[in-house]
């Protein structure tokens, strides 16, 4: 009788507990580790505040950089007598009148970056697939180290290699392209920079050098994303009778596409802002005619080439306006990349 009453009492106590709530610990049980729980909550709060603070700090720094560029460039833009977005003449920043515009700078910056991406993206994709799917383990390490080592080479070394080694080596190629494919707008005989073609200091050379520079960035990001492909996806493709390439095409590439695009945009960001390498290869103003045998000035090389002339706020502001345009261009590119990646993840 006593056992029955005790059982009924326990059942009544259990029934009194509302659904979804945690029942109280039984009497005589181990005490709850309240100190450990409090330490965990304190650690979570500290980590959350540090993470939020870091994000806010980066945002504030970017906003301050943008504010500085706008404040410094505005007086020169207001005094500019030419259209900043359409004027294609020479930069006139001396004397009383200012005339400057960005079309030529934008063209040279965009063309060398596009050449770099067209060359680097397929090669980086092939290297990443090889390292993650086909290469033996004893080969993966050395090849990975060699590719990553390209990122440690200073940009000025790339520039010296481009103008002293790659440029002269491309002179016969440039001549062949002009003689045999001169009917295309990309390989016409240059009108403004014939000397650059004979030395190899062309937009094509600059694009190839940039491709080598951004290759390790794209490869590293893409390889790390491909490695994270779920094993279940691979096994599902194999279970359907897929070959090795079909596993890559149906499982690895769809999963890693967003990372591939993100790595490419990181490489594009470096290509847009590269200075010293391009400064040594191309530093002459060229026309906007899509001829890869010409030379040109990018936003970064234009500023570097005239840094010694920053002797007045107005003149300095004219070149800072070019930096402001590059800042906005980079921001737009990264925002577009995030949009592509976000749609793919959804």
Residue 21, pLDDT > 70, answer no
What's the whole-number mean pLDDT along residues 327-333? 88
* Number of residues in the chain: 346
Residue 227 located in a structural domain: yes
Q: CATH no. for residue 152?
A: 1.10.3720.10
Q: 99 phi and psi, to 5 degrees?
A: -140, 110
Domain boundaries, position 192: 102-305
Residue 81, pLDDT > 90, answer no
Residue 204 located in a structural domain: yes
Residue 213 confidence (pLDDT): 92
Residue 161, pLDDT > 60, answer yes
Residue 242 located in a structural domain: yes
Residue 283 located in a structural domain: yes
Residue 117, pLDDT > 90, answer yes
pLDDT one-digit tens code per residue, 273-310:
888 888 888 877 778 888 888 888 889 888 888 887 78
Residue 80, pLDDT > 90, answer no
Residue 34 located in a structural domain: no
Residue 145, token pair as written in the block: 């180290």
Residue 141 located in a structural domain: yes
Domain tally, the chain: 1
Residue 152 and residue 125: Cα distance in Å, rounded?
20
User: Measuring CA to CA, how many Å separate 96 from each of 80, 92, 140, 295, 319?
Assistant: 10, 10, 62, 30, 16
Q: Which of 210, 213, 188, 202 is CA-nearest to residue 296?
A: 202
Residue 5 confidence (pLDDT): 47
What's the whole-number mean pLDDT along residues 117-130? 93
Residue 64 located in a structural domain: no
User: Measuring CA to CA, how many Å separate 263 from each of 186, 217, 250, 260, 341?
Assistant: 28, 6, 21, 5, 11
What is the residue-averaged pLDDT of the chain?
Answer: 82
Task: Output the pTM of the full model.
Answer: 0.80
Residue 28 located in a structural domain: no
Residue 29 confidence (pLDDT): 47
């Amino acid at each position: 009788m006593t056992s029955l009453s005790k059982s009924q009492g326990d059942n009544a106590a259990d029934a009194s507990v509302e659904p979804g709530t945690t029942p109280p610990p039984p009497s005589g049980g181990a005490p709850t580790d309240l100190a450990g729980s409090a330490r965990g909550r304190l650690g979570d709060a500290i980590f959350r505040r540090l993470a939020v603070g870091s994000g806010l700090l980066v945002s504030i720094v970017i906003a301050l950089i943008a504010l500085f560029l706008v404040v410094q460039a505005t007086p020169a833009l207001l005094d500019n007598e030419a259209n900043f977005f359409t004027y294609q003449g020479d930069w006139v920043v001396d004397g009383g009148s200012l005339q400057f515009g960005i079309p030529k700078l934008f063209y040279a910056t965009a063309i060398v970056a596009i050449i770099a991406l067209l060359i680097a993206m397929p090669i980086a994709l092939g290297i990443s697939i090889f390292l993650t799917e086909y290469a033996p383990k004893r080969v993966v390490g050395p090849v990975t180290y060699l590719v990553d080592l390209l990122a440690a080479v200073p940009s000025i070394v790339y520039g010296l290699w481009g103008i002293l080694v790659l440029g002269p080596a491309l002179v016969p190629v440039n001549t062949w392209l002009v003689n045999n494919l001169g009917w295309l707008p990309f390989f016409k005989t240059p009108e403004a920079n014939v000397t650059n073609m004979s030395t190899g200091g062309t937009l094509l050379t600059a694009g190839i050098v940039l491709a080598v520079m951004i290759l390790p960035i794209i490869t590293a990001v893409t390889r790390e994303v491909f490695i994270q492909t779920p094993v279940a996806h691979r096994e599902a493709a194999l279970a359907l009778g897929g070959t090795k390439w079909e596993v890559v095409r149906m499982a690895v590439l769809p999963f890693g596409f967003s990372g591939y695009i993100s790595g490419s945009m990181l490489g594009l960001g470096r290509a847009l802002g590269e200075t010293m390498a391009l400064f040594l290869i191309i530093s002459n103003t060229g026309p906007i005619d899509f001829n890869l045998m010409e030379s040109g000035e990018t936003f970064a090389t234009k500023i570097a080439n005239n840094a010694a002339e920053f002797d007045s706020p107005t003149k300095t502001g004219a070149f800072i306006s070019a930096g402001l345009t590059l800042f906005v261009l980079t921001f737009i590119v990264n925002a577009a990349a995030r949009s592509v990646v976000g749609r793919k993840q959804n």
